[in-house]
Structures are given as C-alpha cells and as structure tokens.
C-alpha cells in the first residue's frame, strides 16, 4: 500500500510535467506564427477595403470637378465668342445674294474652340463680307443630380457646327483650314447647303424658352423612391409628365400595385 500511495503522489505533484519532443515544440511555434500571419492578413484586407472606399469617393469627387471644369470652359468660350461676334445690328442686315448655311465637321467636344478659331480667322483675314455667323447648336437641359436641379447646356449635334456664308474658293479655304475643322458636310468636295426649313428648325430649337428635362429613367423601368413617406420603396415607372416634372410609379402594397405620383427628384433609377 505504501508504494502505491507514493506513485499516485508523484503523478499528481504540481511539479510533474509530460516531456514534449522537439518536433512537437517546433510545430506549436509554427502554428502560432501562422495564426499571427492570418491576423495580419485580415488587418491588411480591412485596410485595403478602406482604401478602396476612399478611392471610390475620390473618383466621384474628380468626376464632379471635371464636370465643373467643362462647364467653366464652355462659359469662358462663350464669353470670348461674344467679344468676337459682330454687333447684333450688323448681324440683322440683309445678307448678300448667294448666302447659305453649311455644316462643318469638328472633333466632338471641341466645337466651341473651333468656333472661336474660325471667328479669329474671319477677323484676321478680312472675311466678314463672306462669312457671317458660326453657330454651335445647343439647347438648355435640366439635369437631376444628387437631389438637385441644375441647368446645363447640351450640344444638339456633337461634332457639327453651322456656318452662314457665301461659298467660294476664298471662304472655303478660310473655313476648311481652320484648326479643328475636319471638313464640310457634302458629297466629295462639294459642300451641301442646308434647306431654309432645316435652319429654321434648328435655330428655333435653340431659342426654346423652357429647358428640356434630362432624366435617367423611362416607362417600364424599375426605380427607387428616395424621398417622402415611401422612401426606399421600389416601383415601376408607369407614366412620365415632362411638363409638370412628375412621374407616376406603381408600388406593390400587400401584393397589389398602387400608383403613386412623385416629383422627378423623389425617384432614382434602380
């Protein structure tokens, strides 16, 4: 009995420890290192996700700034063009016989710059008696962005400019060799003049009093309500009223579609 009691005491003694081999010790250390590396990887993934969010925000800010810069450039070009244009009284004088409207090509986005270049050439080369007006067809448009209405000027025919002129070799040379002009509209080397009714239609479109509304949705598309008592509800566009800037949306309530009339600013394309 005395021997058995001594054996039990030795096994349960606080100082007793089971021998651990060198391989087991090394494996345990490697497991700890792997766990540490996994934690670091998770931290890095979180940092990358945060950076991606910041980049997305910056890209949105850059897009907004680019839009603002484009608008400012257009405003500056318009002001410069106004300084170069003849007084309105002179423009309203009867045109000489043979005066017609022609269309010239330019690179899209450079229409105002080409207009400015051509006005400079007309003045410097004394062609005021043969080239009378240069018009970039535009119209005002109401753009809905970030819950706000903003009036922008949109080019009706991107890449095209109208020129009122008497066409001969000299005037053709001045227009055709203006920086940014890639050619006249017409067959071969013979520019084709616009019909008077075509010119009237374009100019009247530019003089329209009420700007057009630019919206991102159309009938039949899914939209999300972003404002009002039905905020975050999804629906389908049933009718669009451009004159009143209102849209009728069909929203599903308890399995039944219910029409709701909303302002354009209260919905966005889903």
| 266-269 contact pairs (CB < 8 A, 24+) | 266/225, 266/226, 266/227, 266/228, 267/217, 267/223, 267/224, 267/225, 267/226, 267/235, 267/237, 268/216, 268/217, 268/223, 268/224, 268/226, 269/216, 269/217, 269/221, 269/222, 269/223, 269/224
175 and 115 inside one domain: yes
179 and 229 inside one domain: no
The answer as to whether 13 is a domain residue is no
The answer as to whether 10 is a domain residue is no
> What is the structure's pLDDT at 20?
55
Which of 161, 171, 164, 158 is closest to 127 using CA atoms?
Answer: 171
The total number of structural domains in the chain stands at 3
> What is the structure's pLDDT at 175?
95
> What is the structure's pLDDT at 100?
95
Low pLDDT (below 70) residues in the chain: 1-24, 60, 67, 70-71, 74-92, 144, 147, 188, 208-211
The answer as to whether 131 is a domain residue is yes
Structural domain range at position 230 = 222-269
Distance CA 205, CA 10 (A): 104
DSSP assignment, residue 227?
S
Could you tell me what percent of the chain has a pLDDT over 70?
79
> In 3-state terms, what secondary structure has residue 48?
helix
**What number of helices (H) and strands (E) belong to the chain?**
6, 14
65 and 172 inside one domain: no
The answer as to whether 4 is a domain residue is no
| 204: CATH | 3.30.70.940
128 and 190 inside one domain: yes
Q: Where are the alpha helices (DSSP H) in 85-207?
A: 88-91, 111-124, 169-176, 196-206
The answer as to whether 189 is a domain residue is yes
């Amino acid at each position: 009995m005395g021997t058995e009691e001594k054996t039990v005491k030795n096994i349960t003694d606080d100082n007793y420890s089971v021998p651990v081999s060198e391989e087991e010790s090394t494996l345990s250390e490697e497991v700890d290192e792997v766990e540490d590396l996994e934690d670091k990887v998770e931290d890095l993934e979180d940092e990358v996700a945060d950076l991606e969010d910041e980049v997305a925000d910056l890209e949105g800010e850059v897009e907004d700034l680019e839009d603002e810069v484009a608008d400012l450039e257009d405003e500056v070009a318009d002001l410069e063009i106004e300084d170069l244009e003849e007084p309105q009284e002179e423009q309203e004088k009867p045109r000489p016989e043979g005066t017609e409207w022609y269309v010239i090509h330019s690179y899209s986005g450079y229409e105002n710059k080409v207009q400015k270049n051509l006005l400079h050439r007309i003045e410097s080369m004394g062609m005021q008696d043969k080239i009378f007006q240069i018009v970039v067809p535009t119209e005002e448009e109401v753009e809905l962005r970030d819950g706000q209405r903003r009036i922008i000027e949109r080019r009706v025919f991107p890449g095209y400019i109208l020129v009122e002129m008497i066409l001969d070799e000299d005037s053709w040379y001045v227009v055709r060799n203006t920086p940014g002009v890639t050619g006249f509209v017409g067959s071969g080397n013979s520019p084709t003049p616009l019909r008077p009714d075509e010119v009237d239609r374009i100019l009247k479109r530019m003089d329209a009093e009420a700007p057009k509304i630019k919206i991102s949705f159309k009938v039949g598309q899914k939209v999300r309500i972003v404002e009002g008592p039905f905020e975050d509800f999804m629906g389908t566009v049933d009718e669009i009223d451009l004159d009143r800037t209102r849209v009728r949306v069909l929203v599903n309530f308890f399995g039944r579609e219910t029409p709701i009339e909303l302002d354009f600013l209260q919905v966005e394309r889903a």
